[in-house]
Structure 1
Amino acid sequence: MKAPIELHALGQSLWLDNITRALLDSGTLQRYISAYCVTGLTSNPTIFDQAISGTADYDAAIRQKVSEGKSGEALFFELALEDLKRAAALLLPVHTATGGMDGWVSLEVSPLMADDAAATIAAAKRLHASADCANLFIKIPGTSAGLQAIEETIFAGVPVNVTLLFSREQYTAAADAYWRGIQRRIDAGRDPKVHSVASIFISRWDKAVMKTVAPELRNRLGVAIGKRTYKAYCDRLASPQSKKFADAGALTQRLLWASTGTKDPQIPPTFYIENLAAPNTINTIPEQTLQALAAHTESFTLMPEDGGDAEVVLGEFAKAGFDVETLATRLQVEGAGSFTTSWNDLLAVIAAKSALA
């Protein structure tokens, strides 16, 4: 059995962490869906920055939109939605067959709003309405302001992909925000079925400590954080409150593994895929990792619901002087900063290409 098919059989969804116009035009995305059981797609400002700045694939569309008087963010979101709605159409059969649990694409609000809850809420509602796409998530970062926005956006009935989560505590805060939004919908007599995923970033942990960690701890931190978070996720699913929500008709906010492309050439490209196999979760992976996974021949061992050796490993990091919570906060700030840089670069590229129109 091919590895992607095996993971699908184990109950884990595979999503592609990439979107380009060439990926759509060439039929490659359709092939990934058919051959590799890809059942969703994620995007972020960095992905779009690379897609638009690195090719001429969008130049004609930019010229057309400039001639229509469009520019800046508005022009970008039109480009992005054109791509994402095409991908969403390809994934719609999956979305329908799974009752909306799978078959999603994701669009991120401007990262410049990471600390502005009101602006994020307004942008999420506007983008969702303008897209008019049944299987589009709006991505909102799990920052302090983002948590407020998540609750309000869920209450408004907008599907949310919570991004930039790095720890169990950050995941729990985001999951609580989702529950608050759902509870408010129940109290208001609204349909409690609003889909959401919570995205935990993994490989950035190991990259952050790569130069300072002892050899025996190298590439162990990200998986340990994943195991710790997965235990919290499983505990939440088994909780009385979760049952109460389910009885009311509400859905599960699914856990999604993000940043699962390896950063260390000393480990196999499928390292995080192998270590994060778990039912009722999603793994969104870069193209290169997906292709490596397709060639993978070994069977997978499921993650332990009790966290396995996570606390032992994290204890070793604590003894070595690493403050995981402080690092989680730093990684979230750096992640938001990285997306802001990509966003500014993206808008600069669009401005430069618009000037040539």
Structure 2
Amino acid sequence: MQMIFNFSAGPAMLPHSVLHQVKEELHSWNNMGVSVMEVSHRSEEFVQLMHSMKKDFCELLNIPENYEVLFCHGGARGQFSAIPMNLLCKTTSKHADYINTGYWSYSAALEAKKYCVPRVIDVRVKNNGIRSIQSIHAWDISSDSIYIHYCPNETIDGIAVYDHPPKFFNKIVVADCSSMLLTCPIDVSRFGIIYAASQKNIGISGLTVVIIRRDLLKVSREEVPSILNYKILAKNYSMFNTPVTISWYIASLVLRWLKNQGGLEMINRHNLEKSKVLYAAIDSSDFYYNDIDRVNRSCINVPFFLRNKKLTNIFLQESISFGLYGLSGHRSVGGIRASLYNAMSLRGVKRLVEFMNFFSKKYS
């Protein structure tokens, strides 16, 4: 059987060793004779899995002791609602700054309108057809906002913010890190809340991780729905109701795999090498192009286009025969998108480049 390289933006590919272990343990997890999908989340064995998973997660990201890690339902979109509901209590301003860097950050702002008054700050720049993002130090932050929300890596647009967030006058900094969390080291202490859906680099869909500074747990209002209330979730060890146990189990395996790879410093070097190879192939060709300024190019999600757009569908069709899967750009953007999440190998990227060279010679 031909090896398939999965470049899907999410749900994304999993490490082969993790898939193999899931297969081996599917019918009898922990030598219990039953599947992990059948085990009570209150059982001693599953509670131990939760503690081990949380420990591995905290060690990988070097999370300070004054932060709590929550394992939540609802995907990142659930957090679009949970954040304003939890952070904006009756006694505070109802204003929040939402930095618009692309599709997902703007989607978060649209949802926030139901619960607060978001001020959408567009920091996108387009010059001679090249798109970029203003330096984070130039963002026009308002004086009366309680928190600032932004997305460091826009999965669809393939654009990233690499600047470290400053203190912003002690405002709460909230980041949607769904596509980049665990791809590189991050200074958690610069943020009030970091959240990420799991189906990129953490595991499979059905789990969203929230890293929250503990003092912010005191803000949550009683009227916030319990399933979205950070204070209640923390008090109940993220098990206020039955979690998606299979998602937690697979996340625990992926976290262990990451530690075995050498941690985030090592995986970051690997990811940078992969993106360097792919961008070099795009930039050296007159057949393909990427329209993001090099300063803001995502090393995780790489969109590119064929100069002859009529060949796009043919490219996607023929790439399948090369063992390349999930290369279609998002429906709102089109073109090609290669997502180079942690589980994607350098071999897979080189296979894509090989096909790109073959295709450009065939249709030039």
TM-score by length of 1: 0.32
Bigger proportion of residues as helix: 1
| Bigger-Rg structure (1/2) | 2
More strand by share: 2
